[in-house]
Amino acid sequence: GKMALVVCAALVGQVRSAETMVNYASAKAIGKQPAGSVRFIVKYKDNSQSSKDLKNRSTTKVMANGMQVAGFNAQFVRMTGAGAGIFSVPDLKTTKEAHLVMDTIASNPDVEFVEVDRIARPTAAPNDQHYREQWHYFDRYGVKADKVWDMGFTGQNVVVAVVDTGILHHRDLNANVLPGYDFISNSQISLDGDGRDADPFDEGDWFDNWACGGYPDPRKERSDSSWHGSHVAGTIAAVTNNRIGVAGVAYGAKVVPVRALGRCGGYDSDISDGLYWG
């Protein structure tokens, strides 16, 4: 069958600086992160000595625990599925400091690109309950899904990986959901306390008490869970012609839930690993 990907968080491209791609724009995320260290994604050039050291876990030769990087202590966190390294820098509070750290890292000729491991968040999800309310499927200004279904295009034999907040159990969706994975590596974000595993169940993405760095509105102290991943999965592949709930626009397809967003959002590195896996 075919494989598709749905990602509900955008990854911004890098900006070229000399021979190394330095994503200065990613530093704007400073101050919008959950409490703790700021993380950086560092990709070393293939076959470079730093790349070999990283793959061999010889991080003392790359950016060792306690090593000073532009005056800040850097800690190795883990490698991404695509082979980049993630490094954590505590006590970093400003965009200027982030630029300084990235410039210092980029001064190593082995570095291919460096950027802040930002927190991404899903957009708000609407709350469609019944097919007749899903005007965007059949209305004059909609996608005219009903006409496409009449032609026999229902998503049959297509598998869609939904990289989002995970999945809830729902009688109008369960039959079209395949086994997925939870890629959230941070316990404060995951809320399930067991790290990465084969259970993509959505534990919620609620927050309160300024837990998310004042995002999206510093005056707003809390937000309820969005259950965004289930909404997206249902929009794609809700079971149809069963007289229950809504219709999926590709109701013959199957969904693989990939959990990468949780409380306050999710790290770019977890999202990219979810993409790589999906």
CATH of the domain at 107: 3.30.70
Same domain (yes/no): 171, 236 = yes
Q: What is the CATH number of the domain that holds 209?
A: 3.40.50.200
Which helix (DSSP H) or strand (DSSP E) does residue 24 occupy?
Answer: none
Same domain (yes/no): 173, 215 = yes
Same domain (yes/no): 216, 111 = no
Q: pLDDT per residue over 167-208, tens digit each?
A: 999 999 999 999 999 999 998 899 998 889 999 999 998 887
Same domain (yes/no): 196, 260 = yes
Q: Which domain holds residue 268?
A: 120-277
Same domain (yes/no): 51, 35 = yes
- Last residue of a domain, which of 66, 101, 117? 117
CA atoms within 13 A on the CB side of 142: 14
What is the distance between the alpha carbons of residues 82 and 21, in angstroms, rounded to a whole number?
A: 16
Q: pLDDT per residue over 80-92, tens digit each?
A: 988 899 988 887 8
In a domain, 16, yes or no: no
Task: Please tell me the predicted confidence (pLDDT) of residue 164.
Answer: 96
Separate counts of helices (H) and strands (E) for the chain:
7, 15
What is the distance between the alpha carbons of residues 83 and 45, in angstroms, rounded to a whole number?
A: 10
66 three-class SS: coil
In a domain, 3, yes or no: no
> Three-state secondary structure along 161-209?
EEEECCECCCCCCHHHECCCEECCCCHHHHCCCCCCECCCECCCCCEEC
Does the pLDDT value for residue 214 go beyond 60?
no
CB count within 10 Å of CB 71 equals: 11
Task: Please tell me the predicted confidence (pLDDT) of residue 12.
Answer: 38
Residue count of the chain, please give it.
278
What is the distance between the alpha carbons of residues 50 and 52, in angstroms, rounded to a whole number?
A: 5
CB count within 10 Å of CB 247 equals: 24
- Last residue of a domain, which of 96, 117, 138? 117
Same domain (yes/no): 36, 134 = no
Same domain (yes/no): 261, 191 = yes
- Last residue of a domain, which of 117, 139, 156? 117
What is the distance between the alpha carbons of residues 260 and 216, in angstroms, rounded to a whole number?
A: 19
12-16, 35-39, 246-250: range with lowest mean pLDDT: 12-16
Sign of CA dihedral 43, 48, 53, 57: positive
In a domain, 181, yes or no: yes
Same domain (yes/no): 64, 140 = no
Same domain (yes/no): 69, 145 = no
> pLDDT band at residue 54, thresholds of 50, 70 and 90?
confident
Residues 6 or more apart whose CB falls under 8 angstroms from that of 98 comprise 27, 30, 38, 92, 116
In a domain, 66, yes or no: yes
Q: pLDDT per residue over 105-163, tens digit each?
A: 888 888 999 999 988 887 644 344 555 566 566 666 677 777 888 898 899 999 999 99
What is the distance between the alpha carbons of residues 260 and 202, in angstroms, rounded to a whole number?
A: 10
In a domain, 238, yes or no: yes
Q: How far is CA 90 from CA 36, 71, 72, 74, 216, in A?
A: 7, 11, 7, 7, 23
What is the distance between the alpha carbons of residues 34 and 209, in angstroms, rounded to a whole number?
A: 11
In a domain, 49, yes or no: yes
In a domain, 212, yes or no: yes
Contact criterion met (CB below 8 Å) for 262 and 190: yes
Q: How many domains does the chain contain in total?
A: 2
Same domain (yes/no): 132, 267 = yes
Same domain (yes/no): 77, 208 = no
pTM of the model: 0.78
Q: Which of 31, 33, 9, 28 is closest to 207 using CA atoms?
A: 33
In a domain, 243, yes or no: yes
Same domain (yes/no): 99, 129 = no
